[in-house]
Structure formats: structure tokens, C-alpha cells
A and B are shown apart, each in its own frame.
Chain A
Amino acid sequence: MIRATTGGVLRSYRANLMKSFISQNNAMNTILTQRTFNSYAEDPASAAKAFRLRKSRMTVQSQYNICTDTQKKYETGISCLQSIDNVLSTKNGVPGEYMRTLKGTTLSMLNDPEGDAREQLAKVLDQMSEMLVQDMNQKYGDNFIFAGADGHNVPFEVKDNKLYYRGVPVDAAVPELFDSDGAGTQVKLNDNGEVDPTGKNILLAGATTISKADYDAAVNNQLNDPTAEVPNVLKDTAGAAVMYTDKDGNDYYILADSAETMTQEEIDEAEENVAKLEYLANEKLFVDIGLGFQENEDGKLIESSAFNAALNGIKFLGYGLDADGDPKNLYSLVQKMKEISESVPEAGKWDKGTWEEFDNLVGKFETACSNFTTEFVNMDASSTKLGTNAQLLEDNFYNLQEQYAELEDIEPVEAINNFLWAQYAYNAALKVGNSVLSQSLMDYLN
């Protein structure tokens, strides 16, 4: 530059003074807002990262609320079931209260001609079944706890002394059909009990058979002795006994008195009820408690990324029938025991068979109790897991807060130092302007 003019110097000074003032203003804003950047443009990378961290924090906060709420539901459920568990489960080899009562009573009933013990037992069993249903129908908030994914409706209902879970009889089982030839050929009967291919009643397994030889022998015997009885076997519509051949080629007849049948509709319904029970016992209800909650490419929730919060009542109480045709469900078992205890006249004695049946049911009841306890323990473990998870989420929450605070929040010492430096520079600029620009040759002219 050949010449530095007054105007040029002033312009340059003005521009630089403005820069200095802007720097001071920015440094001041940093202190006032306590933030290292106040707009996206100041630090796009940090701003984007901070937003993502804040999003994670908000999500964690939301998941924490769900997690603690689910845990409270579990805790409420646990306290509901605790009383059942106390009286049912065997702890340290000592059976629970009911089990002791049952076992003690069972023995005493063998010698109970007046029926007092049986009467007492029936009352106890009735109370127990009532308690079971009541406890399993408890609510947390507005929702029934043990209703699986149907929290708005009462899960267990008793109709005609039968227990229903969400409208499905808990003792539903698919009946085994009579297989006449080992190849699955069913036996159909009409409403008159006659073998009829167009009949709607299908013979169930368990029907008693008689070999052709025995049957023929009985027929011959009657020829010789008219008072001798011929077994009543299934006959066709023409009145002729119907003979079947089993898979080994042996001919036989089916005794009519032992024949139990069901219609196809009844079988279908039973099958459907079994399918429903299977589904309801394993029904899932996922909630997001911060386990990753993600769907796969098909839009299907990855189950390990969510928490299954469904508490399926029948999973605790049991459902269906066992191989002996006895119920697996606690309530139904109790009811059956109650029925047996009531089935004998008040003053009568139990025969051995009835006692054995009752005792057998007690054994099955014990198994059902064990199943209940297992589920109860699982639930307790899940509740603990929820608690641990809530703690993790809480830790994560604070970690995330720290992370974005590190990005966004100022280091006070640095920020104040920067401001003081900017202020110093600005003051210096002002001083320079005041002392340099005021002087020119004009001031020295006489």
C-alpha cells in the first residue's frame, strides 16, 4: 500500500473493532447460556451427536417408566400368589398347609364312618378353589394381572363348577378315538347306538372288546344253556353283531355297554379348545423395557429385544387332562377331590377304590402345586430381572446425560478465560483507536 489514508485506516479499524466486539459478544453468550454451541451451525457434528444422545436419554426414560410399571405389576402379582404359594408349595421338605391337611385328612378318611372328615375336607377344598380363582383374578391398576393379553376382562370364571380361562374350559382335551383296524378306521354309531356309517356319533377309545372266539363261545353256550347270557356287542341297523378285525388279523366284537361316543362337532370343539389353551398358555405380550426393541426385515418383532410381560393364568394353574383323563388344573383337581369326598353317603365308609382314586388325585395335586411353584419362582425371577434392568436403565440415563453434557456444557474456567481475553482484546482495540486515530499532522499545525 502506497498510501494509508484516514478513511482507509478508519474503515480497517472499524471492521476489526467489529470483529473484536463480535468475539467478545460470542464469548459472553457462551458464558450466559452455559453452552459450548448455541446453534447447529456452530458445531454441526457435536449438535447432531448431542441430539442423538438426548434421543437415547428420552427413550431410556420412557423405557424405564415401562420397566418399573411392569415390575410393579409383577410385584403385585407376586404378592397375590404369595398366599397360594405358602399353602401349596413344599419348602425345605415340609409340605404347605393345604398339602398337610390333604394328606392328613386322606388317611383319616379311611376310617371315617360318620363322614365328618370328608365333610370338613369338602369345605376346605371348596375354600381353596374359591381362593385360587379370586387370587388369579386380581388386578393391577385397571388390568387383570394373570389374564395374559386380555387384561381388560376377568380371566377365570366358574360355570357349573367348571373353570374357564378366557372363555375356554381349562380341562379341554382331544378325545382319543377308537381305531377299529389299527389303520385309523373309526366306528360310527347312530343315535340308537347302532353301527351306522352315516351315524354322527364316533366311538371313543377305551371301549371294551371281546374276541370272536369268546363271543362265539358265549353264543354256543347259550344254545346249550338258554339262561346263559351273550355279551351285548355293537350291532348294525339290521340287528346283526358287527365284527371287526384288528391289525393283527384277529376278529373281535365291541361291547355295547362300554361304548362312549362323541359327535364330530364335539371333537372339533375339543380340538379347538385344546389349541386355544395351548395358545393362551404361551401367549405373549411384549413391552419395550430397553432391551433393544427391534423388528426383523419382515417387520416381525425380534423377541429377544423385548420383554414378554404376559402372565398367563393357566400356565400357573395348569390345563388339560393327563393320560389318565384326570385334570392337570389345580382348581379342577380340587373340585374333583371335593366331588369324590362328597360322593360317598355321609355315614358310609370309603371303599378302597375311591380312597385310592382320591389319594391318586392328591398325588396329582402335588404335581400341579409343584408346577405352580415353578411358575411362581420364574415370575419372581422375572421381577428381579425387571428390577435389575430398571437399575441399568437408570445408570444408562445418567451416563447419557453426562455424555451430552460433556459435548454441550461449557468448561467454566475456559469460557471465562476466553471471555476475559476477548474483553481484553476489545478494550485494547478501543484504546488503540482512541490514541492513534485522534492524531494527525493537523494537530501539529500552528
Chain B
Amino acid sequence: MGMIGTFDGFTTARLGIYAAQHGLRVTGNNISNINTTGYTRQRIEQESMKTGGADMYRSPYDNHVGNGALVTGINQIRDPYLDIQFRTTNSKVGYTDAWLSGLNDIAKTLDEVGKGMVTNRTEEGDGILYAQMLDMADMLRQLMNNPCKDNDTLVRNSAETLCQLFNSYGRNLEGLQKDLDAHFQTELASVNEILTNIRNLNETIRNAEIVGDRALELRDERNRQLDSLSEYMHIKVEYVMEDIGGGKQVEKLIVSLGNANPDPESHTDETVLVDGVYGSQIKCTNGVPLSNPDFDATKTPGADNPRFLKADGTATDDEKEAATLDYVLSVTNLVDSKNVLPKNHNTVNAGRPITLADNDLYGSFQAMRELLTEKGEFSTAADVAADPNAVSKRGIPYYQMSLDLLARKFAELYNSLNQGAMLDTDDNVIYTAVSGTPEDLGLKLMDKGFGEGYYVDEKGFFIGKSDPAHNPCLLTQAQIHKDDSLKTALNKISGVTTDPALKDQIKAVLDSNGEVLSDKTEEAEKIVADFLGLHGVTDSNGAQVEVNMPKYPEGTGPLFSNRNDGDNTEGITASNISVSHSWSTGAVQVVPKFKELFDGDVTDSTQNVNIDHMISAIDKSLVYNPKDLDPNSVSSKLFEGSFNDMFNNMGGILANDQRTTNVDLNNNYTMLVQIDTSRDGVSGVDLNDEAMNIMQFQKAYSAACRFMTAIDEVLERLINNTGIAGR
């Protein structure tokens, strides 16, 4: 039997008291932090202490007894899988929440449900802009019933209100865009602050760990920062062990993007954001030229290996011609707190910044980017090259452009109707159509005895005629306009003709630089004119057809313009549509009819045939073609219907997106709460738990004290009261 130390028991009791006291302190700390965001419950780690080692002379009757409990550490209780789930779901909540918030902001302008005041003609809930379009139709009916100046003024007043509403809606959306841009920049700063915090925390934790401190509270803070970051973007968090020399290893945290891009070829969506003590920042740049995906970086850039894409999707090596993208994000170099680059580092952005692809992010950051940039059906080939799904994503620009297109079509149709260009000799209206034939792209010109087959462009200038000798499609493709230079016209013809003789003719009038030879101008003009079928074409009276045929009869003019101090109809949008200056001053009025009866011998002062057209136009089904607003748009049809239908459709698309997103948000949020609750189930503090711990450690403490008292009493007996028998 081995020796038993006299005072061993005291040590054992003392260690028990220590352990229980530690336990009570940790319990107290847990209870104190029950409401601390991100706090992970802690618990002590205890081991039974045993002194001495193996003894070769050890007797089988020699029983070792342990020397009490040792507190070896304090740990956190976390489930890494739940953290991953939480952060993935949090990025979904972030995305849907930000997207829905943006849609709701748009709806504040465009959703007219329940809006509208009671007036003589409207009821509450009739809408505002929606009702105003009908109000103008009502005024037109009154004008039709009695074409006179007073009623024209009524129509004009109604049109002015309509324009003001368009302006107001357009400005609201512009304001929304600006506000969101400012918010985006603030959020960008927040994200960068989080990234810096994580990097700094990594450094502090690392230093603490080197000296043996687990730095649990700092880890909590780091987890909290990671949770916050996950709302902005989809991230991946890894913990690896880092060798710091001397056989010692410390834990290292790596945060990278979470592979959000559905394109398997994309790897920039795994860019490292923080790698231990090295961290990066995210930068946002506007006006970035769009890269050509087929560009081969290993070869010299040039015409054969162009670096960029144009808005129409074709490649170019000229940066000035390239389509530009806004809100392009990039991740900077990884650097430590002293701005030093890592050595021998294998992460992608260790040595250079990484430009992120359009879909590399997820979370609220991506939602804000999409709200700021996505144009839906108005997307250009360049936009689609950047994001194949661009056509189905509709952010603020989509609604702005839809409203612009509505305002433009409205203005164009009423301007045309008030200028007579689209009326044939029988007062039939020739509406603009929109698909690919000459009839569609040019307006048929049947007036003035030209008969079928002659076309003018949207500005009213003669395009050509569909001569069987020429392929009509060629004429359309050529789209030679009055304002084209001779050189441009020849180039257009050369680009579309398949006739080698004609190509030779064109070559013969051009010099080596493609300029028209000065002594060949007449010949060049003839080539263009011949191509358009102008030479030899006469009208029914045998008169030569003039190329620059005026579109508008005398005394008529546009009703709507892009500024109310002029009559310019170019580039009308929702924000600038105005009643034209001429209409507002009375120089132009709504034209009730164009045809003079018997060359003006008989007056028909209240004839209203043109107002008939204008009233019908309110319900006229028109094709809304995104190309009418941006020729580079890839879609050729946004919607087909009346003006009111178009506005209703915008509300419908917005509403359906809101509904879908709302359902997503609710689902994701519910899931997030569940995951967070589960996470809390592992890491959170529970009062019942802690009450049990208090009792447990309190009892243990008392027991250890009791044990010490027992040992004390035993030794007292041994030292002071042993061997005094008979005294």
C-alpha cells in the first residue's frame, strides 16, 4: 500500500472549491449575457487530477486516488452547420427584404389602388394617372361634340395635368433611384467596415490565442460580424489551423464569397474577402467598359482579339465604343492592417483586385444593385452578355423606361394624329406598327396619290418604295434617312445589298478612305436615289416625287414636346413630356379634321373626324416595343394594349413581383427564425439550465467545503487527539 499524503485532502478540497467557484462564475457570466447579441453560452471544462505516474515497483495493493478536479478551460458551444445554414438563409432574407423594400418604394408611385379623389368625373379609387388619361378622353369627347376653342382649352388643361402627373411619376422614380444609390453607397461603407472589423478581430484573436487565451468574447463579436455580413452577401466561412512555428498552431478564419453565381464557369464568386489577418475591401465603379467574354488574354488585343462588347452585343477593341456597366463591384487586394500584401499566398486576389461578375453576390447588396440597374425587357445585348437572365429582372430602370415608353407612345400617337402624317386620303389612320417588314418600320404613305408601297420613316421622311426589283427587306435594313450623309447612305446600301454590280458602283465613287470622291458626288447621289427607287417615280399627276417630303400639313403641329417652352418632340420621356409651346400659346390646337371640303369652297367648322381618331386612340391596341426607347434593347415587344392597359400592366408586373417576393421573404424569414432558434438551442443561454448549474455548482462548492471540514476534523483528531488515551 502506497503512502498517503497527510494534507492531500486539502488540495483536493481546494480544487473542488475552485472548480465549483469557476462554474458559478461562468454561470453568472452566462446569465449576465443572456441578452447580449451574438453571445455564445460558455461552460467550463474540468478534468480529474491525478498526480504521479507509472511505478515499476508498484504494488497491486497500491490504490491511487485522484487529487481532485482541474478546470482546464472555458469553451463555447456552437454548431458550425447551423452557422452555415443561418448565414445562407440570412443572405436570402437580405436579398428578398431589400428587393421587396425597393419594389414597395416603386409601388408608392405606381400603385394607384385606392388612390384618386372625388371630382365631377372621377370617384375615389379611380386612380390618378390612370384616371387622367381617361379624363383627357372625356375632354376629347366634348371637343368632338363641339369643336371650339373653349373645348380645346379643356383638352389642353387635361393634357397639362396628365403631363404633370407623368413628370411627377418620372421624377419620383428618378428620386428613388438617387436615394437608393445613396443608400447603396452607405451600405457599401458598412460592408467594408464589417470586413475591416473581421480582419482586425482575426488579428486580435490570433494574438490572444498565441498566448493561450481563447478570446471567446471576441469570437462572439466576430460571429456577430459574420452574421451581419451574410445579410449583405452570400459568404462561405472556413476555419483552418495555421502553423505559427515552434510546433504551435492557431486557428485561422477565411471568409470568401459563397459561390452564388449560377454560371459554373464563374470562379470570381469564390473570391476571398478575409484570410486571417489579411482582408480586402469592396469597391463600386460606374461606367466600366463591358468585357468581351471571348477575349483571349494570352494574345495581343486588337481587331482580331477584341477586348470589349458594344451595346448591340458585337465585339470591339475600341474602349470608347464599348458598352458600359454601372455598379460594377470589385474586391481589392488582400492586405493586413499595415497594408502589407501576404507572402506566398495562394488566394486569387492576393496579388490583384478581382472584378466581380454580375451575379457573384447575393443578399441585400445584390438586390440593391439589381434595383439600381435591371431593365427587364429593355436590356441590351450588352446587358444580356453580362447577365443572361437580365431580361427577366426588373428594377427601377425597368419601371422608369416602361413609363417613359408609355409617355413617348402617347405623345407620338397624339402628335401624329394632330399633324396628319398618318392619315391617308380617305382619312384612314395609318398607325405605326412594329415588327420587321417595311410596312412595320416605315409608315405607309398612301396619301397624295402615291398609292400603295411607299414608306416614310418615323420622322415622316421618305424611305423608299417596295419595288419588286429590290428586296423590300433590304430597304428596311438600309433605313436610309434624310439626315444621313451620302457616305453613310452608301455604306448602308453596301451593307445590305447582295448585288455585286451595285457594290462595284459604290466602290467606284469612294476613295480609299471610304469618302465620296468629290467629282463623283452626283453619281453617288444617283446610286442612293436609284436604290430607293426615286428616279423615274412620279405621282398620279406625273410630277416628280420629292425626297424630303414634308410630313405635316400647314397650320398643324405637335401637341406634346419634351419641354413646354418649345415644340421639340425628340426624346420624350415621362419626366419631360409637356404640352407643346405652340399648343399652350394657342398657335396649335387639336386639329378636328384635315381634309378641306371641295378645296375649301365649303366649310365644315364642326367636323371632327380627326378627333374621332384621337378618341379611338385611347383604346387603340398598340405594341410597346422597347426598341422604340432604346434601339439596342434585345426584346421587341413589351406589351400590347391601350395606354391604360399598359399602365395597368406595369402595376400588375410590379404587384406580382411584390407578391412573389413577399412570399419568399416570409418563408425565408420564418426559416431564419427557426434556424436562429435552433442555433440558440445550442449556443443560447437558458435560465433553467443556468439555474440548474447554479444549484449544481453551489452544491459542489458546499460539498467541497464540507470535505475540507471533514479533512480538517480528521487531521485534528490525528494531530491533537491521537495518543492521549487515558488522559
Interface residues of A (CB under 8 A from B): 1-9, 11-12, 15, 33, 35, 37-42, 44, 47-48, 50-52, 54-55, 57-59, 61-63, 65-66, 69-70, 141-143, 147-153, 166-168, 272, 275-276, 279-280, 283, 285-288, 293-295, 298-301, 306, 309, 408, 440-442, 445
Contact = CB atoms under 8 A, between A and B. Distances in A.
Interface in B646-664: 648, 651-652, 654-656, 658-659, 662
B114 A7 contact: no
Contacts of B34: 6-7
Interface of B: 34-35, 107, 111-114, 121-123, 125-127, 130-131, 134-135, 137-138, 141-142, 144-146, 148, 422-424, 426-431, 597-598, 601-609, 612-613, 615-616, 619-620, 644, 648, 651-652, 654-656, 658-659, 662, 669-670, 673, 676-682, 684-692, 694-695
B687 A441 contact: yes
Contacts of A47: 113, 651-652, 655
Nearest to B100: A41
Contacts of A38: 113-114
Given A6-B34, A280-B602, A295-B616, A39 B113 contact: yes
Contacts of A148: 604
B545 to A, nearest CB: 23
B107 A39 contact: yes
Nearest to B608: A285
Given A1-B677, A306-B612, A442-B691, A142 B146 contact: yes
Contact of A3 (B114, B682, B695): B682
13 contacts: A3-B686, A6-B687, A38-B114, A39-B113, A41-B656, A44-B655, A59-B134, A62-B138, A149-B605, A272-B598, A286-B608, A299-B428, A299-B431
A142 B659 CA distance: 54
Contact of A168 (B142, B602, B644): B602
A63 B137 CA distance: 10
Contacts of B680: 5, 7-8, 11
A441 B691 contact: yes
A6 B652 CA distance: 44
B148 to A, nearest CB: 6
Given A167-B601, A300-B426, A5 B138 contact: no
Contacts of B431: 299
Given A41-B659, A301-B612, A288 B427 contact: no
A287 B686 CA distance: 79
Contacts of A272: 598, 601
Given A3-B689, A6-B687, A142-B148, 8 more contacts: A9-B677, A41-B656, A47-B113, A55-B644, A151-B605, A279-B597, A298-B426, A298-B428
A51 B648 contact: yes
Nearest to B695: A445
Nearest to B647: A51
A293 B615 contact: yes
Q: Looking at chain B's contact residues, is the secondary structure mostly helix, strand, loop, or mixed?
A: helix
Given A5-B689, A55-B644, A66 B141 contact: yes
A8 B677 CA distance: 4
B616 A293 contact: yes
A414 to B, nearest CB: 19
By CB atoms of chain B within 10 A, which of A9, A62, A279 has the most?
Answer: A62
A144 B134 CA distance: 29
Contacts of B430: 298-299
Contact of A5 (B608, B669, B685): B685
A30 to B, nearest CB: 12
Contacts of B685: 5-7
Contacts of A1: 677-678, 681
A299 B613 contact: yes
Contacts of B689: 3, 5
A35 B679 CA distance: 42
B146 A143 contact: yes
A8 B685 CA distance: 9
A8 B648 contact: no
The 4 closest A-B pairs by CB, nearest first: A299-B429, A8-B680, A152-B605, A151-B606
Contact of B651 (A40, A66, A69, A441): A40
Contacts of A51: 112, 127, 130, 644, 648, 651
Contact of B681 (A8, A65, A66, A442): A8
Contacts of A280: 602
Contact of B694 (A2, A152, A276, A445): A445
